[in-house]
Amino acid sequence: MIEPAKSPLLTLSDGNVIPQVGLGVYKVENEIAGPLVSKALQVGYRLIDTASMYLNESGVGQGIVDSGVPREEIFVATKFWMDDLGYSNTLRAFEKSLGLLGLEYLDFYLIHWPAPKRGLLYVESWLAMERLKNEGLVRSIGVSNFHSHHLDQILKVAEHTPVLNQVELHPLLTQESLMSYHASHSILTQAWSPLARGQILSNELVNSIAKIHNRSASQIVLRWHIQRGVSVIPKSTSRERIIENMNVFDFVLTSDEMNAISALNVNYRTGVDPEDRN
């Protein structure tokens, strides 16, 4: 029996904490999400990242129940889709997600995309999210796929700064300037597609570093994120790979290795630029 691994916790600007490594469940069907989440919680995961758009929130909720892990030990993050931007839509979307998850509160609620061609609806949504936080229904509120100028709009009106921004981030898209913006506003950078949807795993440099450390390519890339202070939510449907992805806290990359991996950046996106997603 493999000893369950646990992720360190990072402290957020609102005083709450978040496990640095979590499980993402994008493209995991609802029927599979339950057993997957339950398995992940049993092997030591404590952060689960879903979204209304993934259509698997009820499966995630079932997995939480089936895992036997106490609710208060688990961090659940979900997001609302662009069609629910705006103040009252956001409140409605929240109620729906909470119901599907079968929870009484959320740990993290995120705006999925800013959809800037729809104007400043995302700012109205932010005000609704602040209300949810103030009412104790969400512990921490954040955003996803925001460029710094979208964050600027929120910061102009915010009572609560977003605790994190979940963005596409991996060695082919290192997001240096956005990360410095985050650092200057105490916003945690969280990486989606931290493995570039698997596309970075055959990279020659990553594999040569993996050989040196006797680790997998995935562990090297995740370790690179960890040492940059980033939170990661890799997705895998395999029990072995889920365990492998959590076992990244007992080795260290050298600064030369870190720099070499960062130098793979070509500003390549596996997904859409947030500016164009509407």
Residues in contact with ligand NDP by the rule CB under 6 A = 24-26, 49, 112, 144-145, 166, 192-198, 201, 216, 218, 233-238, 241, 244-245, 271
Q: In the numeric block, which tokens belong to residue 212? A: 């040196």
Q: Identify which of residues 41 and 233 has a Cβ nearer to ligand NDP in the complex.
A: 233
CB of 76 to ligand NDP, least distance (A): 12
Q: Measured between alpha carbons, how far is residue 209 from residues 15, 36, 40, 206, 253 in Å?
A: 36, 30, 27, 5, 9
Q: Identify which of residues 89 and 237 has a Cβ nearer to ligand NDP in the complex.
A: 237
Q: Is 87 a catalytic residue?
A: no
Which residue of the chain is nearest ligand NDP when measured via CB? 24
CB of 96 to ligand NDP, least distance (A): 18
Q: Are 249 and 243 in contact (CB under 8 A)?
A: no
Q: Identify which of residues 103 and 167 has a Cβ nearer to ligand NDP in the complex.
A: 167
Query: What DSSP character marks residue 160?
Result: S
Q: Are 60 and 33 in contact (CB under 8 A)?
A: yes
- What's the chain's Rg over C-alpha atoms? 18
**Interatomic CA distance for residues 185 and 162, integer angstroms:** 9
Ramachandran quadrant class, 275 (left: phi over 0; alpha: psi -120 to 50; beta: rest): alpha
Closest C-alpha among 228, 225, 116 to residue 183: 228
Q: How many residues does the chain have?
A: 278
Q: Identify which of residues 97 and 145 has a Cβ nearer to ligand NDP in the complex.
A: 145
CB of 116 to ligand NDP, least distance (A): 15
Among 45, 54, 109, 181, the active-site one is 54
CB of 65 to ligand NDP, least distance (A): 20
Q: Which residues are catalytic?
A: 54
